[in-house]
């Protein structure tokens, strides 16, 4: 008599996972876009899933919850700053042009920083921006673009304030194109430090 196989038993073939047609980076890119459009409160798994052709239960399986998806997105932000910095460095010879390129491509995560886990990622994102700015400012001093007496650490922190402030002000007022508005604010901030026009 043949032994019937239990519904709960599995063979090795049954356990082979289906290949992922959409990788996590594509999902997190879609999350950034939806966050920029509607903010974290109105972001839904359905809206993110619609961008990449996945159902909300698939996102739940991968990230656990909307919070898990947002945490994964926030955790990736510092890496995106470093990637943008590397790409901009390859494309420019001027340290200040590199800095402008980086800040025009880096986003601002709209997250609840009163939550300790989100705050940890927000701090890492801020540190990546400040550290990158400081590196470009040191190079700009060495290249003769900025005054030798420039307080690089202070200017790097001030740049973060200018960057976040400009994006917040633009979000409220919508003054022109965001990248142009940001560039104008950076120009005003850096003007006293420039060695030459």
**160-188 b/e (C-beta count within 10 Å ≥ 16 → b):** bebbeebbeebeeeeeeeeeebbeebbee
- Is pLDDT above 60 for 2? no
57 & 83 share domain: no
Do 57 and 139 share a domain, yes or no?
no
Residue with token string 């973060």: 160
The strand ranges marked E within 53-196 are none
Residues 114 and 174 in one domain: yes
**Which of 102 and 17 is assigned the larger pLDDT?**
102
Based on the fold, state whether residues 32 and 87 are members of the same structural domain: no
Domain span at 60: 19-64
Rounded Cα distance, 187 and 197, in Å: 11
The reported pLDDT for the residue numbered 65 is 95
The structural domain count of the chain equals 2
pLDDT tens, position by position, 109-159:
667 778 899 899 999 999 999 999 999 999 999 999 999 999 999 999 999
**CA-to-CA distance for 80 and 45, rounded, in angstroms?**
22
- For residue 60, being part of any structural domain is answered with yes
Token pair for residue 116? 């300790």
Q: Based on the domain organization, do 53 and 120 belong to the same domain?
A: no
Given a contact cutoff of 8 angstroms between Cβ atoms, the answer to whether 88 and 101 are in contact is yes
Angstrom distance (rounded) from CA 31 to CA 75: 12
Look at residue 17 in the predicted model and tell me its pLDDT.
54
CA 159 – CA 161 distance, rounded (Å): 5
pLDDT tens for 43-96 read 999 999 999 999 999 999 999 999 999 999 999 999 999 999 999 999 999 999
CA 150 to mean position of chain CA atoms? 28
Q: Which residues are 194's β-sheet partners? A: 146
* Lowest mean pLDDT across 100-104, 171-175, 178-182: 171-175
Average pLDDT estimate for 7-22 = 55
Banded model confidence at residue 11, pLDDT cuts 50, 70, 90: very low
91 shares a domain with 55: no
Cα dihedral 158, 162, 84, 70, rounded to 10, equals: 110
Query: Is residue 34 domain-shared with residue 105, that is, in the same domain?
Result: no
Is 14 contained in some domain? no
Q: Is pLDDT above 80 for 14? A: no
| 97 plus 79 within the same structural domain | yes
Q: What is the pLDDT of residue 9?
A: 45
CATH number of the structural domain spanning residue 52: 1.10.10.60
Task: Clarify whether residues 84 and 168 are in a common domain.
Answer: yes
CATH for 146? 1.10.357.10
């Amino acid at each position: 008599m043949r032994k019937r196989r239990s519904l709960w038993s599995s063979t090795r073939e049954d356990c082979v996972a289906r290949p992922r047609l959409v990788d996590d980076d594509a999902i997190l890119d879609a999350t950034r876009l939806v966050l920029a459009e509607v903010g974290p409160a109105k972001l839904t798994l359905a809206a993110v899933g619609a961008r990449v052709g996945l159902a909300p239960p698939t996102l739940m399986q991968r990230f656990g919850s909307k919070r898990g998806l947002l945490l994964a997105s926030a955790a990736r932000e510092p890496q995106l700053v470093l990637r943008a910095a590397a790409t901009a460095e390859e494309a420019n010879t001027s340290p200040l042009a590199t800095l402008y390129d980086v800040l025009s491509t880096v986003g601002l995560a709209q997250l609840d920083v009163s939550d300790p886990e989100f705050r940890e990622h927000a701090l890492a994102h801020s540190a990546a921006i400040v550290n990158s700015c400081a590196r470009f400012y040191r190079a700009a001093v060495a290249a003769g673009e900025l005054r030798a007496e420039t307080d690089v650490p202070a200017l790097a922190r001030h740049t973060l304030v200018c960057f976040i402030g400009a994006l917040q002000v633009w979000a409220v007022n919508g003054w022109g194109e965001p990248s142009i508005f940001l560039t104008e604010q950076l120009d005003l901030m850096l003007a006293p430090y420039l060695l030459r026009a």
